[in-house]
Amino acid sequence: MHLTSLPRRAALAVAVLAAAATAFALPSAAEAAPTPQAASAAAVPAHAVTGYWQDFDNGAQVQKLADVPDSYDIIAVAFANATSTPGQLSFSLDPAVGYGSEADFKADIAAKQAEGKSVVLSVGGQNGTVSVNDATSASAFADSAYSLMQTYGFDGIDIDLENGLNSTYMASALHQLAAKAGSSFVLTMAPQTIDMQSTSAEYFKTALAVKDILTVVNMQYYNSGSMLGCDGKVYSQGSVDFITALACIQLQGGLDPSQVGIGVPASSSAAGSGYVAPSVVDDALDCLTKGTGCGSFKPPTTWPGVRGAMAWSTNWDASAGNAWSDTVGAHVHGL
């Protein structure tokens, strides 16, 4: 997404567009039937707002977790670090964020949880190098992630790997982690648009493979080239049609509506391209859930259970006076 807010590899997206068109295939209605949601999703509101909190200073307003507005239901701490052991995670606070001690940070996590919020640790980002590609690294991922959850009090993990992943071993790692964490485990994902064009893509396969423990996929509708919608037409980023036509792929491709969210930049400074006004996010949510506010793309049905929206980041939102969370947060909670 994330980290430096540089434009994502749009050239790659354009290059694979034709291939995606031939590879794109949705399962039958029977195959796409919703499965029962895991208990982990129960702690998160039916319609929820996710925000990434930056554990670094990249020009956005520096803030502590206590400063994150109440509109955010899930706060993803960005980011965990990779170690020299494949799959293993570590985390340490950047002095730039102003915490005097780890104890203060842990206290802020606990305070957010006392308010009914979930705080998860995000793995990846634009420069993330965590690799899970065999059984050993899958176990290392699960063990280290669980250790960090116990140490800091995180409710779960966010998968934001932008440099590829192996669906078989990542799904194994996440199931191992969920088994350790129990029913309160929260699992979120933030794939790039290219990662969710087809159910045969590794990221999409991972999401489907962990559907039983998955809370929400907040795909990044920005820093992207033009992409295919579920109707086979090409849509350009920065519009309500881009959001709704691409969300439709996930909704028809097997994810439950409660597992689908809209990921967008909180301000025009938060991403290299693809920013839309908060009102466009609201329109897209209305189009998907109610059939109103649509552009030229009209979804074949409505999905009232769509989870909500995500912002990169709470810091960029704060830099813009929290205009995003004030507008989109209220709209999501009113669905």
Instruction: Considering only residues 24 and 55, tell me which one the structure prediction assigns the higher pLDDT.
Output: 55
| Length, in residues, of the chain | 335
In this prediction, residue 164 carries a pLDDT of 81
In this prediction, residue 270 carries a pLDDT of 97
Structure confidence by residue, pLDDT tens digits, 113-151? 999 999 999 998 766 689 999 999 999 999 999 999 999
Domain for residue 2, yes or no?
Answer: no
Structure confidence by residue, pLDDT tens digits, 307-325? 999 999 999 999 999 999 9
* Beta strand spans in the chain (E): 48-54, 74-78, 81-82, 89-90, 118-125, 156-161, 186-189, 216-220, 227-228, 234-235, 260-265, 308-312
In this prediction, residue 204 carries a pLDDT of 98
Q: How far is the C-alpha of 193 from the C-alpha of 191, rounded, in Å?
A: 6
Look at the chain and report how many structural domains it folds into: 1
Residue with tokens 């709470």: 314
When pLDDT is averaged across residues 256-263 and rounded to a whole number, the result is 98
Quote the tokens at residue 158. Answer: 């966010």
Confidence of residue 27 (pLDDT cuts 50, 70, 90): very low
Is 80 exceeded by the pLDDT of residue 36? no
In this prediction, residue 125 carries a pLDDT of 75
When pLDDT is averaged across residues 45-51 and rounded to a whole number, the result is 98
Q: How many CB atoms lie within 10 A of CB 335?
A: 17
Residues 6+ apart with CB under 8 A from 129: 82, 163
| Candidates 31, 102, 115, 162; catalytic one | 162
Q: Is the pTM of this model over 0.85?
A: yes
Lowest-confidence segment of 34-38, 90-94, 128-132 by average pLDDT: 34-38
Q: How far is the C-alpha of 21 from the C-alpha of 24, rounded, in Å?
A: 5
Domain for residue 157, yes or no?
Answer: yes
Domain for residue 58, yes or no?
Answer: yes
Confidence of residue 43 (pLDDT cuts 50, 70, 90): confident
Domain for residue 317, yes or no?
Answer: yes
276 touches 238 (CB < 8 A): yes
Residues 6+ apart with CB under 8 A from 74: 44, 48, 49, 50, 51, 117, 118, 119, 120, 186, 188, 215, 216
In this prediction, residue 12 carries a pLDDT of 40
85 DSSP β-pair partners: none
Structure confidence by residue, pLDDT tens digits, 57-80? 999 999 999 999 999 999 999 999
Alpha helices in 221-277 (DSSP H): 240-252
Structure confidence by residue, pLDDT tens digits, 222-258? 999 999 999 999 999 999 999 999 999 999 999 999 9
Q: What DSSP line would sit under 299-330, residue for residue?
A: -SS--TT--EEEEE-HHHHHHTTTHHIIIIIH
Q: How far is the C-alpha of 126 from the C-alpha of 162, rounded, in Å?
A: 6
Rg (CA), the chain: 18
102 belongs to the catalytic site = no
When pLDDT is averaged across residues 208-221 and rounded to a whole number, the result is 98
We report the CATH number of the domain holding residue 226 as 3.20.20.80
266 touches 314 (CB < 8 A): yes
Lowest-confidence segment of 22-36, 61-75, 291-305 by average pLDDT: 22-36
Q: First vs last Cα of the chain: how many Å apart?
A: 27
Domain for residue 3, yes or no?
Answer: no
40 touches 156 (CB < 8 A): yes
Structure confidence by residue, pLDDT tens digits, 153-195? 999 999 999 778 999 999 999 999 999 999 999 999 999 999 9
Domain for residue 5, yes or no?
Answer: no
**% pLDDT > 90, the chain:** 84
Four-point Cα dihedral 208, 209, 214, 220, nearest 10: -50
Domain that holds residue 316: 10-333
Domain for residue 4, yes or no?
Answer: no
Domain for residue 1, yes or no?
Answer: no
In this prediction, residue 7 carries a pLDDT of 35
In this prediction, residue 33 carries a pLDDT of 36
